[in-house]
A and B are shown apart, each in its own frame.
Chain A
């Protein structure tokens, strides 16, 4: 039967080689930039506090590896909490907005207006309220990051086809079951779109929180290094910040693949 053919997947080995090859390209461009950077430093010899060479940044990373790791852990922890709390706040809020007209009319415009406030400007206020502890960083992270999740979840819920809901009703599903078996899975692709933005913003929020008041975390380390003109250390901290961003984004993407292998944004054949 020819139709069964279309179900066959490319073998695992070819798939792995292909995805590894794709991962090589950005690494290659990074390597080239590093080389150009090193060459520029060797040729023009800028003051080290202006532009340290990649080699000296690497030396700092090796020498202060444990300190860097400690601060990275702090920032990663704050980011994770902010991300999770954003979901806990945003998803139920989005459901209320999509489900109840009065909620949409009352809450949604306020929410949209509130986004006009630069959240960074709120940071000092949060410090007044929550002090200098973990709460402040997480709170700022949530303030910065939760809005895209609300928007994308509302869009997802509202675009569930009417017939699909009708199908659920005609099968005698309760409202809760219709939510769980139809609305939630049907809007998952949209929700994940929001979560990908959310995770990158959560990192921003955590660092902003550390800038305004902290005694640990990569944001704090960057400020500290800046004050002492230890530019190589700043670059090292930035490097670890990039790693947090990339790894956390990859984790969200991995969760997306694991939860919805059926969706076209995830499928190989739809790439």
Chain B
């Protein structure tokens, strides 16, 4: 079961640049929350602050009621880039989690293999990162984040480098895994569809300075099926978020439907 996250007026400045203006929100235990927002609005920064890998300039982050002041370790992180260790084979890249946490080797070797297989990396266990494509590397890094069953998952565009088909498959698999062990998930994505499909709630962020523009609840039954993406309730949410981006000025339609979007109902 996941841990709750509480973010209280957290802000981050790099020198004179305000990467994240004071932001507050709470995430319940075992909730799946997505963050969508234009490039440079502070999504990765926010994840780093929650993981305790970077110190907030102001405000506090608390996980399960405890203030974060050092790197969180009961966590699985998928970084925006795959960050594989070049000198380790694929399986050893996943196994470093078990090694670092001193978990029983045999059991986790078995689990690593299963995860890699589910990610379509069957037969690549002994390959080295330089032998993988970008998408394959990203899948390895997803496996590495999942192998130790963390109660908190921080994923920064984990499916960014994948083709549409693999992306759909990974989405389904992630939902299945989440339904089974219910970690708390914070999922950064550029794909609004992906966010709506996976999340309980979606945080829409606006740029310059980075801040939360809106929080939307996704009230669709689970488990969600791919076909659901055509449903009216699904599309309403997608359109709503896109309309928000249009208003921010980060998305402009050729036919310029901004006026129309502004009149659309907001949940």
Interface residues of A (CB under 8 A from B): 1, 3-4, 6-7, 161, 163-164, 166-173, 177, 181-182, 185-186, 188, 260, 262-264, 267
Contacts and interface: CB of A to CB of B under 8 A. Distances in A.
B85 interface: yes
Given A166-B77, A172-B100, A177-B100, A182 B85 contact: yes
B43 to A, nearest CB: 15
Contacts of A169: 53, 71
Contact of B51 (A170, A181, A185, A263): A170
A167 B123 contact: no
B144 to A, nearest CB: 8
Interface stretch (B22-30, B125-133, B227-235): B125-133
B72 interface: yes
B130 A167 contact: no
B142 interface: no
B123 A4 contact: yes
B250 interface: no
Interface string B55-74: 00000000000000001110
Interface in B97-136: 97, 100-101, 123-124, 127-131
A164 B96 contact: no
B83 A170 contact: no
Contacts of B259: none
Given A164-B85, A177-B100, A262-B87, A1 B73 contact: no
Given A7-B131, A163-B81, A262-B128, A170 B53 contact: yes
Nearest to B144: A167
A171 B86 contact: no
Contacts of B83: 161, 163-164, 167
A105 to B, nearest CB: 20
28 contacts: A3-B124, A4-B123, A6-B131, A7-B131, A161-B83, A163-B81, A166-B77, A170-B71, A170-B75, A171-B73, A171-B97, A171-B101, A172-B100, A172-B101, A177-B100, A181-B96, A185-B85, A185-B87, A186-B87, A188-B87, A260-B87, A262-B86, A262-B87, A262-B129, A262-B130, A263-B87, A264-B130, A267-B130
Contacts of A163: 79-81, 83
B139 to A, nearest CB: 13
A7 B127 contact: yes
A165 to B, nearest CB: 9
Contacts of A182: 85
Given A4-B123, A172-B101, A173-B100, A167 B79 contact: yes
Contacts of B48: 166
Contact of A1 (B81, B86, B123, B127): B123
Task: Summarize A's interface: helix, strand, loop or mixed.
Answer: helix
Given A4-B123, A262-B129, 5 more contacts: A3-B123, A164-B83, A169-B53, A262-B87, A267-B130
Interface residues of B, number: 26
A171 B123 contact: no
A164 B87 CA distance: 13
A185 B93 CA distance: 13
A178 to B, nearest CB: 10
B51 A166 contact: yes
A166 B79 contact: yes
A181 B86 CA distance: 12
Nearest to A1: B123
B63 to A, nearest CB: 13
Contacts of A172: 71, 73, 100-101
Contacts of A164: 83, 85
Contacts of B128: 262
Contacts of A7: 124, 127, 131
Nearest to A184: B87
A230 to B, nearest CB: 51
A4 B77 CA distance: 28
Contacts of B75: 170
Contacts of B97: 171
Contacts of A168: 100
10 closest residue pairs by CB, A with B: A171-B100, A172-B73, A169-B71, A185-B87, A166-B53, A163-B83, A163-B79, A262-B128, A262-B87, A173-B100
Interface in B178-228: none
A170 B86 contact: no
Contacts of B73: 170-172
A3 B75 CA distance: 32
B182 to A, nearest CB: 20
Contact of A171 (B80, B96, B130): B96
Contacts of B130: 262, 264, 267
A4 to B, nearest CB: 6
Contacts of B131: 6-7
